[in-house]
Homo-oligomer: A and B are copies of this chain.
Amino acid sequence: MANLSIDLFKKTLRNPVMNGSGTMGYGREIESLWSIDTLGAYVTKGLSLKPHHGNPPPRVWEEGQGMLNSIGLQNVGLERFFAEYFPLFKKRNTPIVINFFGFTDEEYIECAASIRPDPFIIALEINLSCPNVTKGGICMGKEAQSVFSIIERVKRRTPIPLIAKLTPEVADIVQIAQAAVSAGADGITLINTMPGVSIDLAAKRVAFRGGLSGPPLKPIALKAVADVSRAVHVPVIGAGGITDHEDVIQFLMAGAQAVQVGTATFIDPFAIPKMLAGVARYMDEHGLARLESLVGAAHA
C-alpha cells in the first residue's frame, strides 16, 4: 500500500491526518472502534494548567449541515493528563500535539513552560481563540500585536515546536499568521471554529451560541490555507469541514502539510480510517510516491 508518511518538525508521521483538538476526547475513547495509532498524530483536547469544568449543557447544537459547540474548554488539567492519559500514546507509539490555552498571557506562558519535552510530543498547539479575561474577554487571536507578543513570550519558555492555531473571525488572517511566524511560531493551524448563533423559533429565543464547525467552514478554511501557506515559510495544518479523502487532498493542494478532522468523526466514527484508505487509493491510482508532491500543488 502507498506510503502516506509526511515530515513535520523533523519527525516523520505515518500520515497527514490528525484529529482536531477537542474532537477525540482523551484518545482512549475511540479505541473501542479503532486504534489511536491510526492517526498521523493525536491532538489533545485543549489543556490548561489547572482543570476546567467547562460550560453547562447543552454544549452541542446541530446547525444545518454543520454544528455549533460551546464546550467551554472542560479539561482535567496538564498534571492529570500526563499522569492518566499520556501513557497510552507512548504505548501506541503515537506522536501527539498538545493543544493548550489560558485566560491570561501568564496562564498561557506557564502552561507551555510546564510541559516537559518528550520524544512523543511533536509540538504544542496554542489555541488563540479563547477569551482573554484581562482584555475584557476579547480573544487573543484577533490582533497581530497581541498574537506576536504572546507567541514570542511562550517561545522563550519552551524548546518544543509551537503551532499557532488561529480563529477565522479576523479581518486579515494572513496578517495574523505572519505576526505569529515572525514571533517564532513553527507552524500554523487553520482554522478554529467560526462563532455562530442558532435561533429557536418555537421558544423565540437564542437557542445556542457557539463555534461553527463542519462542512460550512470548508471554503473559508481552504481560503485561509491557500493564502497563509503562500505568505509564510512554516508548515500549515488545515482544518475545517474535512469529511472525506478528497477534502484531505484539496487541503494539501491548497498548501497544507497536514490536516485535522473534527466534526466528521461525530457523524461517521470511521471517517478518518476511511479517508486514509481513500488517500492511499488516490496515491496508487496517480502513481504518487510521496504526499509532499501534492502540497501547494494548487498554488502553481
Could you tell me which A residues sit within 8 Å of B by CB distance? 63-66, 68, 138, 142-143, 169-172, 194-201, 204-206, 209, 212, 215-220, 222-223, 226, 241, 246, 249-251, 253-254, 294, 297-300
The 9 A-B pairs at the shortest CB distance, nearest first, are namely A196-B219, A216-B216, A197-B223, A199-B250, A142-B171, A197-B222, A204-B297, A206-B298, A170-B171
Chain B hits for A253, CB < 8 A: 199, 201, 204-205
Chain B hits for A219, CB < 8 A: 63-64, 66, 68, 196-198, 212, 216
Chain B hits for A204, CB < 8 A: 253, 294, 297-298, 300
List the number of copies, as a whole number: 2
Chain B residue nearest to A199 (CB atoms) is B250
Contacts known (A222-B196, A253-B201); A172 close to B138, Cβ less than 8 A: yes
Chain A binding surface SS class: mixed
Find out whether the CB atom of B201 lies under 8 angstroms from the CB atom of A220.
Answer: no
Chain B hits for A138, CB < 8 A: 172
Chain B residue nearest to A224 (CB atoms) is B197
Chain B hits for A198, CB < 8 A: 219, 222
- Roughly how many angstroms separate A201 CA and B294 CA in the complex, as a whole number? 11
- Roughly how many angstroms separate A278 CA and B66 CA in the complex, as a whole number? 25
Chain B hits for A220, CB < 8 A: 194-196, 212
Find out whether the CB atom of A172 lies under 8 angstroms from the CB atom of B66.
Answer: no
Chain B hits for A170, CB < 8 A: 169-171
Contacts known (A66-B216, A219-B212, A220-B212); A226 close to B250, Cβ less than 8 A: no
Closest chain B CB from A155 CB (angstroms): 23
Find out whether the CB atom of A142 lies under 8 angstroms from the CB atom of B223.
Answer: no
Closest chain B CB from A239 CB (angstroms): 15
Find out whether the CB atom of B64 lies under 8 angstroms from the CB atom of A298.
Answer: no
Chain B hits for A250, CB < 8 A: 199, 201
Q: List 27 A-B contacts (CB under 8 A).
A: A63-B218, A64-B215, A64-B219, A64-B241, A65-B65, A66-B219, A142-B171, A142-B172, A143-B171, A170-B170, A170-B171, A196-B220, A196-B223, A197-B223, A197-B254, A199-B222, A199-B253, A199-B254, A199-B298, A200-B298, A201-B246, A204-B294, A204-B298, A204-B300, A205-B298, A206-B226, A216-B216
Find out whether the CB atom of B195 lies under 8 angstroms from the CB atom of A223.
Answer: yes
Candidates B64, B171, B172, B223; contact of A65 at CB < 8 Å: B64
- Roughly how many angstroms separate A249 CA and B218 CA in the complex, as a whole number? 27
Chain B residue nearest to A196 (CB atoms) is B219
Q: Which of A68, A171, A254 has the most CB of B within 10 A?
A: A171
- Roughly how many angstroms separate A223 CA and B172 CA in the complex, as a whole number? 20
- Roughly how many angstroms separate A200 CA and B215 CA in the complex, as a whole number? 17
Q: Which of A169, A170, A249, A251 has the most CB of B within 10 A?
A: A169
Chain B residue nearest to A223 (CB atoms) is B197
Chain B hits for A194, CB < 8 A: 220
